A and B are shown apart, each in its own frame.
Chain A
Amino acid sequence: MSMATATAQPVERVNYLNKEYGVASWLLTTDHKRIALLYLLSITLFFFIGGFFALLIRLELLTPAGDLVQADTYNKLFTMHGMVMVFFFLIPSIPAVLGNFLVPMMIGAKDLAFPRINLLSWYLYIIGGVMMLHCMLTGGVDTGWTFYTPFSTAFTNTKIVEAGLAIFVVGFSSILTGLNFVVTIHRMRAPGMTWSRLPLFIWAHYATSIIQILGTPVIAITVVLVAVERTLHLGIFDPKLGGDPLLFQHLFWFYSHPAVYIMILPSMGIVSEIIACFARKRIFGYSFVALSSIAIAVFGFLVWAHHMFVAGISVYAALVFSLLSYGVAVPSAVKVFNWTATLYKGSIRYDAPMLYAFGFLGLFTMGGLTGLFLAALGIDVHVTDTYFVVAHFHYIMVGGALMGYLGGMHFWWPKISGKLYPEGWARLAALIVFIGFNLTFFPQFILGYVGMPRRYYQYPQEFQVLNVLSTAGATVLGVGYLLPMIYFLWSMRYGKPAPDNPWNAAGLEWKTASPPTTFNFEEEPVVTWEAYNYDEIDGAHKQEVPVVG
């Protein structure tokens, strides 16, 4: 633009990024792609806030003595880390950024069904986020992100009501995103885009949206009850006044367990896209992978009480919930086996997105299998509220959900920004993230198993070696997260222009320009092919594989 030699260059195509400039064109946009970028900026901010709390936690745990912060401060640190990461990063991360950007394009639509509601959901997120920031800066909350009653309603004197209302508001943003996706997937598909031709990313988001729609209202009413009980001193959950604290836990986990699937399902969708593309094969058992997403969403609603095995629920209830929790493992395993089968005899390329997908496969499997340990009643009693649990859910939420998110960001970055990221740096970052992650969280499995409880700021001397390893790993992991942010920003200015389809991938989103125009497609696409038709794309120059057996 400012270059004097610009005359020699072809005129830059009009796209969603350069169509208009100015603050209003962003803050009042109804373009799903621009809203995706607004979300990207906001959740990245909250990711680093949540990461800052994690850093302080790990620094405190470097030594056995409580020397960096006081116990009260430590309680606030892990509480705010959890609240920010769960409600303001993980839950909106993939749906609100990549889902927002890709769902309409993948099904051949111009936009989501309700573009203004989409913008409204971002504003709700921001309002909730500002409330949470204000809450943090004026004292925070110290109950743990689960804000169990009656501690949260009758004892603690931290900012429960404000944090609860922030979660209430941001919950509505999540509901509206899910509502928009379901209607869009039902009503906005291009001609020929049948349900059996949908990319698995779409199936995953459909399942996620169902959870957002049916689960989030329950946490909304729960925080309303907590806020009312706390302000008016009622006894809905307070046993001293005749209330039932277990009822709170039931209502809370009715949402918060399925919420884990809000985080992991979209990530699974991304992994399906990446593995098919970089193995150059149609995904093995497409319909099984698609329907296993729905199965996970349904089963996910039936297992919540496995968080309450030691809370005093009946033995029979615990038995049933233990069995059902095993049931969730089945559709999850179906996915892992199908991805592995897809790799079999594939022409595998090890580009950065694929490295993240491989990372996801290993780490999610670890997280899932340790989840089965925790679903077993006997072992759960032994490791409840220890670092084993912390390690387990970080393997799912960070090793699973976040690896998928990063893989997706790399895979679709050329489409989002119109620029190529530096591949060498990206592979290095993927490796650093994988090593840093395992170094951080694997020692925590051992710590938990030998008895270190979670949420304590001091610990006995013999736990120090593993804690030092974990803190060292967290530092490496931090570097791994900073790197992509740096080179993504760098590539926006200095990166090579991306072709429309740099990966030679299937999928309608790759048939648009990079970056796409405001309405995505020049003319409404008509779909005549199956999803992941890599055989046809790679076509003629592929050798016939001799049939074995």
Chain B
Amino acid sequence: MSDSQATAVQGEAHNPALLHHFVTEEQQRDASSLGMWIFLATEVMFFGGLFCAYLIYRGWYFGDFGAASKSIDALLGGTNTAVLICSSLTVVLAIWGAQTARRGLMIGSLILTMLFGLAFLGIKGKEYKDKFDEHHVPGVSFSFEHVPIPGHPDQYANPRHAEIFFALYFIMTGLHALHMVIGLGIFTWLLVMAWKGRFTPQYHTPLEVGGLYWHFVDIVWIYLFPLLYLIDRHP
């Protein structure tokens, strides 16, 4: 009851999405967007710990990391990079659709985004399967014997050090994939909201906030891709 009292004070055409404790829609939009930016700052620190570990071991075990990196399929990784960049475009198109009140564009772009996300996870799964078949998954059956270090054909990579590379590879890409799965969950919800017609040119904050998250997950991949796939590719 007091909810409606508090908001009724606002008088003019009231947006049902405006929560009771905000005075204006602008304040609510700013708060939501700032909240997501801060959350992304925590995500930067979360992945930052992993990147820090990666950089230290890359420095220590330079050649071993190069050899291990070379065993991953860069074509699959490259394809995934392209897929994710396209998905970021479709996110922006969805927001543009909401801003210009083009329902078809908005819903179509959301569906495309999710399809790109699923394609990414599928390709990722194929990559994991290959690594499993090659016994490159860290653990008891791990094997990385007699793999030459790039540039030093007479030296073999140390399997223990290559195992650290693969441990980081699986943890980093695994956490990234987990973020993709969460992103797909968020976009399912956005799609339902869009389908129900909740988003208007005036109010589409959830799309913008969800989009921020999606772009962030893409950017993490933009850093992961060269560090894990490209560090020792020579023409």
**Chain A residues, CB < 8 A from B163:** 234-235, 241-242
Is A221 a contact of B21 with CB atoms below 8 Å? no
Q: Chain A residue with minimal CB distance to B137? A: A232
A242-B41 CB under 8 A given contacts A186-B34, A247-B56, A519-B2: no
Question: Which residues in chain B, 128-166, are within 8 Å of chain A measured between CB atoms?
Answer: 138-140, 158, 160-161, 163-164
Q: How far, in angstroms, from A243 to B165 measured CA to CA in the complex?
A: 11
Is A113 a contact of B35 with CB atoms below 8 Å? yes
**Chain B residues, CB < 8 A from A234:** 138-139, 163-164, 167
The chain A residues found within 8 Å of chain B, CB to CB, are 109-115, 117, 175, 179-180, 182-184, 186-188, 213-218, 220-222, 224-225, 228-229, 232-236, 241-244, 247, 251, 254, 518-519, 524
Q: How far, in angstroms, from A447 to B161 measured CA to CA in the complex?
A: 44
A221-B41 CB under 8 A given contacts A236-B167, A242-B61, A243-B164: no
Is B46 a contact of A187 with CB atoms below 8 Å? no
Nearest first, the 9 A-B pairs at minimum CB distance are: A217-B46, A221-B49, A217-B45, A110-B21, A111-B21, A187-B31, A113-B31, A234-B167, A242-B160
A225-B138 CB under 8 A given contacts A179-B42, A234-B164, A235-B167: no
Q: Shortest distance in angstroms between B161's beta carbon and chain A's nearest beta carbon?
A: 5
**Chain B residues, CB < 8 A from A221:** 46-47, 49-50
**Chain B residues, CB < 8 A from A110:** 6, 20-21
**Chain B residues, CB < 8 A from A112:** 21
Chain B interface size band reads: 35 or more
Is A242 a contact of B164 with CB atoms below 8 Å? yes
Q: Does B89 contact A (CB under 8 A)?
A: no
Q: How far, in angstroms, from A519 to B2 measured CA to CA in the complex?
A: 9
Q: Shortest distance in angstroms between A450's beta carbon and chain B's nearest beta carbon?
A: 39
Question: Which residues in chain B, 161-181, are within 8 Å of chain A measured between CB atoms?
Answer: 161, 163-164, 167-168, 171, 175
**Chain A residues, CB < 8 A from B56:** 244, 247
Q: Does B73 contact A (CB under 8 A)?
A: no
Per-position 1/0 for B7-44, Cβ under 8 A of A: 00000000000011111000100110011001101110
The secondary structure that dominates the A interface is helix
Q: How far, in angstroms, from A342 to B56 measured CA to CA in the complex?
A: 49
Q: Does B101 contact A (CB under 8 A)?
A: no
**Chain B residues, CB < 8 A from A214:** 41-42, 45
Question: Which residues in chain B, 51-68, are within 8 Å of chain A measured between CB atoms?
Answer: 52-53, 56-57, 60-61
Is A213 a contact of B34 with CB atoms below 8 Å? no
Q: Chain B residue with minimal CB distance to A241? A: B160
**Chain B residues, CB < 8 A from A109:** 21
Q: Does B48 contact A (CB under 8 A)?
A: yes
Q: Chain A residue with minimal CB distance to B48? A: A218
The chain B residues found within 8 Å of chain A, CB to CB, are 2, 6, 19-23, 27, 30-31, 34-35, 38-39, 41-43, 45-50, 52-53, 56-57, 60-61, 138-140, 158, 160-161, 163-164, 167-168, 171, 175
Chosen A-B contacts, 27 in total, with CB atoms closer than 8 Å, are A110-B6, A110-B21, A113-B31, A115-B21, A175-B42, A179-B39, A179-B42, A182-B34, A187-B27, A213-B38, A214-B41, A217-B46, A218-B48, A220-B46, A221-B47, A221-B50, A224-B171, A225-B49, A225-B171, A232-B167, A233-B139, A233-B140, A235-B163, A235-B164, A242-B160, A251-B52, A519-B2
Q: Shortest distance in angstroms between A271's beta carbon and chain B's nearest beta carbon?
A: 27
Q: How far, in angstroms, from A235 to B140 measured CA to CA in the complex?
A: 12
10 additional contacts (CB under 8 A) given A216-B42, A217-B45:
A175-B42, A183-B31, A213-B45, A214-B45, A217-B46, A221-B47, A232-B138, A242-B61, A242-B163, A244-B57
Q: Chain A residue with minimal CB distance to B140? A: A233
**Chain A residues, CB < 8 A from B161:** 242
Is A183 a contact of B23 with CB atoms below 8 Å? no
Is B41 a contact of A213 with CB atoms below 8 Å? yes
Q: How far, in angstroms, from A113 to B138 measured CA to CA in the complex?
A: 44
Q: Shortest distance in angstroms between B137's beta carbon and chain A's nearest beta carbon?
A: 9
Is A217 a contact of B23 with CB atoms below 8 Å? no
Is A217 a contact of B49 with CB atoms below 8 Å? yes
Q: In this complex, which of B23, B45, B46, B163 has the most chain A Cβ atoms within 10 angstroms of its Cβ? A: B45
Q: How far, in angstroms, from A215 to B45 measured CA to CA in the complex?
A: 7
Q: How far, in angstroms, from A124 to B61 measured CA to CA in the complex?
A: 39
Q: In this complex, which of A112, A220, A221, A224 has the most chain B Cβ atoms within 10 angstroms of its Cβ? A: A221
Q: How far, in angstroms, from A4 to B52 measured CA to CA in the complex?
A: 70
Q: Shortest distance in angstroms between A347's beta carbon and chain B's nearest beta carbon?
A: 38
Is A247 a contact of B21 with CB atoms below 8 Å? no
Q: Shortest distance in angstroms between B58's beta carbon and chain A's nearest beta carbon?
A: 12
Q: Chain A residue with minimal CB distance to B61? A: A242
Is A218 a contact of B49 with CB atoms below 8 Å? yes
Contact of A251 among B39, B49, B164 (CB under 8 A): B49
Is B2 a contact of A518 with CB atoms below 8 Å? yes
Is A183 a contact of B43 with CB atoms below 8 Å? no
Is A114 a contact of B35 with CB atoms below 8 Å? yes
**Chain A residues, CB < 8 A from B30:** 187
Q: Chain A residue with minimal CB distance to B41? A: A213
Q: Shortest distance in angstroms between A105's beta carbon and chain B's nearest beta carbon?
A: 12
Q: Chain B residue with minimal CB distance to A246? A: B56
Contact of B53 among A216, A241, A247, A519 (CB under 8 A): A247
Q: Chain A residue with minimal CB distance to B37? A: A183
Q: Shortest distance in angstroms between A515's beta carbon and chain B's nearest beta carbon?
A: 16
Q: Shortest distance in angstroms between A490's beta carbon and chain B's nearest beta carbon?
A: 32
Q: Shortest distance in angstroms between B202's beta carbon and chain A's nearest beta carbon?
A: 19
Q: How far, in angstroms, from A214 to B20 measured CA to CA in the complex?
A: 30
**Chain A residues, CB < 8 A from B167:** 228-229, 232, 234-236
Is B34 a contact of A187 with CB atoms below 8 Å? yes
Q: Chain B residue with minimal CB distance to A109? A: B21
Q: Shortest distance in angstroms between B230's beta carbon and chain A's nearest beta carbon?
A: 22
**Chain A residues, CB < 8 A from B43:** 217
